[in-house]
Protein backbone atom coordinates (compact mmCIF):
# COMPACT_ATOMS: atom_id res chain seq x y z
CA UNK A 1 0.00 0.00 0.00
CA UNK A 2 1.38 3.37 -0.97
CA UNK A 3 0.97 6.09 1.66
CA UNK A 4 -0.12 9.45 0.28
CA UNK A 5 -1.09 11.36 3.44
CA UNK A 6 -0.55 11.53 7.19
CA UNK A 7 -3.42 12.53 9.49
CA UNK A 8 -3.77 12.84 13.25
CA UNK A 9 -6.32 10.94 15.35
CA UNK A 10 -7.23 11.39 19.01
CA UNK A 11 -6.87 8.54 21.49
CA UNK A 12 -10.34 7.67 22.86
CA UNK A 13 -8.79 6.88 26.27
CA UNK A 14 -6.64 9.92 27.03
CA UNK A 15 -7.04 12.44 24.18
CA UNK A 16 -3.41 12.32 22.98
CA UNK A 17 -3.13 12.96 19.23
CA UNK A 18 -1.23 10.38 17.16
CA UNK A 19 -0.14 10.53 13.50
CA UNK A 20 -1.51 7.83 11.17
CA UNK A 21 -0.42 7.20 7.59
CA UNK A 22 -3.35 6.70 5.19
CA UNK A 23 -3.67 5.82 1.49
CA UNK A 24 -5.77 8.88 0.51
CA UNK A 25 -5.99 12.43 1.91
CA UNK A 26 -9.81 12.33 1.55
CA UNK A 27 -10.07 9.35 3.91
CA UNK A 28 -12.37 9.76 6.93
CA UNK A 29 -10.83 8.63 10.24
CA UNK A 30 -12.50 7.97 13.60
CA UNK A 31 -11.00 6.40 16.74
CA UNK A 32 -12.64 3.29 18.24
CA UNK A 33 -11.99 1.18 21.34
CA UNK A 34 -12.76 -2.00 19.39
CA UNK A 35 -12.15 -3.38 15.92
CA UNK A 36 -15.00 -3.35 13.38
CA UNK A 37 -15.81 -6.37 11.26
CA UNK A 38 -16.24 -4.94 7.77
CA UNK A 39 -14.22 -1.72 7.50
CA UNK A 40 -10.58 -1.31 6.64
CA UNK A 41 -8.80 -0.43 9.87
CA UNK A 42 -5.45 0.32 11.36
CA UNK A 43 -4.32 -0.41 14.92
CA UNK A 44 -2.74 2.62 16.59
CA UNK A 45 -1.00 2.98 19.94
CA UNK A 46 -0.75 6.45 21.47
CA UNK A 47 2.36 7.69 23.29
CA UNK A 48 0.73 6.67 26.61
CA UNK A 49 0.53 3.05 25.42
CA UNK A 50 -3.23 2.85 24.76
CA UNK A 51 -4.06 0.62 21.77
CA UNK A 52 -7.11 1.48 19.63
CA UNK A 53 -8.44 0.94 16.12
CA UNK A 54 -8.90 3.57 13.41
CA UNK A 55 -11.39 2.58 10.67
CA UNK A 56 -10.30 3.85 7.27
CA UNK A 57 -13.26 4.71 5.04
Per the CB < 8 A criterion, the answer to whether 23 and 2 are in contact is yes
The pTM of this model reads 0.67
Q: Tell me, what's the pLDDT at 46?
A: 93
Q: Which residues contact 12 (CB under 8 A, 6 or more apart)?
A: 31, 32, 33, 50, 52
Low-confidence ranges of the chain (pLDDT < 50): none
Q: Tell me, what's the pLDDT at 29?
A: 65
Amino acid sequence: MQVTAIREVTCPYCGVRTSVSIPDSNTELQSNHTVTAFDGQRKVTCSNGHPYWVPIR
